């Protein structure tokens, strides 16, 4: 089962928009040293929407190489075309990844039956475990717990990243799936409560900035120490909000740039750099948390 802290890793880029593979390797090493339990490569935070297939696959390949078996790597493989999602999954199947993260098709607004057919087709095409990803704030379409439960019957569909931020949704899903089905929070603001209510882990944006804290928060909850989980979360809670004052991954990239972990905060259009007020806000918070100096 996938448990613990998985970072939704950014994809570092040079000022000319090309992938900065040196920085990518350094980020993977940073997370391994900080205790992150796994890496999600080229998900939403990794700007999957603006990476063509060849770059998408190359970034995952480099991530696996940098991890060198020391931490799990999950590859984003979602698309709003089932054929494209299958193609991408097939192309990455031999890279040495531990799982796929596949998002609910965006823009199309598929019916629940359409989602079931979509994800079953993807899972039929691979022997690698598939984690479903429900993020209606971005996709508009919302995958219901009953749909998740039906999909969980497929031997290759092993978990769900739930970014609804709705703890009642977690409880509804728990009642319908087995204990071996991984339930991972995709909403940093509610992740501590999610863990304390029996979630198995997180796929976290905040982990880009404070990976050790997120890993320790997960470890505490999984060990049954909810007090420690909540205490750790309280110590970083401001970051959960600050990293989303502009659309993800704008703020995580700016923060990592200011932390010296990337040479450039470049984002591919249509995403652009944060407003000056947003830059100042996150920088002040990084100073407050002693992550950077003034």
Interval 102-120: pLDDT, tens: 999 999 999 999 999 999 9
- Looking at residue 118, its pLDDT comes to 98
Q: What is the pLDDT of residues 161-210, one digit of tens each?
A: 999 999 999 999 999 999 999 999 999 999 999 999 999 999 999 999 99
Calpha distance 234→281 (Å, rounded): 19
Contact between 158 and 181 (Cβ < 8 Å): yes
Distance CA 16, CA 192 (A): 38
Q: Can you give the pLDDT at residue 10?
A: 98
Q: Which candidate in 6, 133, 257, 258 is catalytic?
A: 133
Whether residue 161 lies in the annotated active site = yes
Can you give the pLDDT at residue 67?
98
User: Is a pLDDT exceeding 90 seen at residue 40?
Assistant: yes
**Mean pLDDT rounded to a whole number for the chain:** 98
| Helix H or strand E encompassing 162 | strand 157-162
Q: Which residues are annotated as a binding site?
A: 45, 203
β partners of residue 8: 40
Contact (Cβ atoms closer than 8 angstroms) between residue 64 and residue 95 = yes
Look at residue 137 in the predicted model and tell me its pLDDT. 94
pLDDT score recorded for residue 294: 80
**Unique residue bearing structure tokens 């090493």:** 29
C-alpha–C-alpha distance, residues 245 and 170, integer Å: 25
The CA distances from residue 25 to 218, 238, 252, in Å, are: 24, 28, 17
This model's pTM is above 0.95? yes
Pairing status of strand 99-103 against strand 201-204: unpaired
Give the closest residue to 38 by CA, choosing from 95, 101, 121: 101
Instruction: Please give the CATH number for the structural domain made up of 4-236.
Output: 3.20.20.70
Convert the pLDDT of each residue in 209-268 to its tens digit. 999 999 999 999 999 999 999 999 999 999 999 999 999 999 999 999 999 999 999 999
Q: Which residues contact 240 (CB under 8 A, 6 or more apart)?
A: 188, 189, 191, 206
Residues annotated in a binding site for pyruvate: 45, 203
Mean pLDDT across 72-89: 97
Active site residue 155: no
**What residue segments make up the domains of the chain, in order of their start?**
4-236
């Amino acid at each position: 089962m996938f448990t613990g802290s998985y970072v939704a890793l950014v994809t570092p880029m040079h000022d000319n928009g090309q992938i900065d593979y040196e920085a990518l390797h350094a980020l993977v090493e940073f997370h391994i040293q900080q205790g992150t339990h796994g890496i999600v490569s080229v998900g939403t935070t990794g700007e999957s929407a603006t990476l063509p297939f060849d770059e998408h696959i190359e970034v995952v390949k480099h991530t696996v190489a940098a991890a060198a078996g020391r931490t799990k790597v999950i590859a984003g493989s979602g698309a709003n075309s089932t054929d494209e999602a299958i193609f991408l999954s097939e192309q990455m199947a031999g890279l040495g990844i531990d799982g796929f993260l596949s998002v609910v098709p965006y823009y199309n607004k598929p019916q629940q039956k359409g989602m079931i057919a979509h994800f079953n087709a993807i899972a039929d095409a691979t022997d690698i475990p598939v984690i479903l990803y429900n993020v209606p704030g971005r996709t508009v379409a919302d995958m219901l717990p009953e749909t998740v439960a039906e999909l969980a019957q497929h031997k290759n569909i092993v978990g769900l990243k739930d970014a609804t931020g709705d703890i009642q949704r977690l409880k509804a899903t728990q009642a319908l799936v087995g204990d071996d089905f991984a339930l991972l929070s995709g909403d940093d603001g509610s992740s501590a409560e999610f863990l304390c209510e029996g979630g198995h882990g997180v796929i976290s944006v905040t982990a880009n900035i404070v990976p050790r804290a997120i890993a320790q928060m997960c470890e505490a909850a999984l060990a049954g120490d909810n007090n420690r989980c909540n205490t750790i979360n309280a110590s970083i809670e401001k970051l959960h909000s600050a990293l989303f004052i502009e659309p993800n991954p704008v703020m995580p990239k700016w923060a990592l740039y200011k932390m010296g972990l990337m040479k450039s905060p470049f984002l591919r259009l249509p995403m652009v750099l944060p407003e000056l007020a947003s830059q100042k806000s996150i920088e002040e918070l990084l100073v407050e948390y002693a992550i950077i100096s003034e």
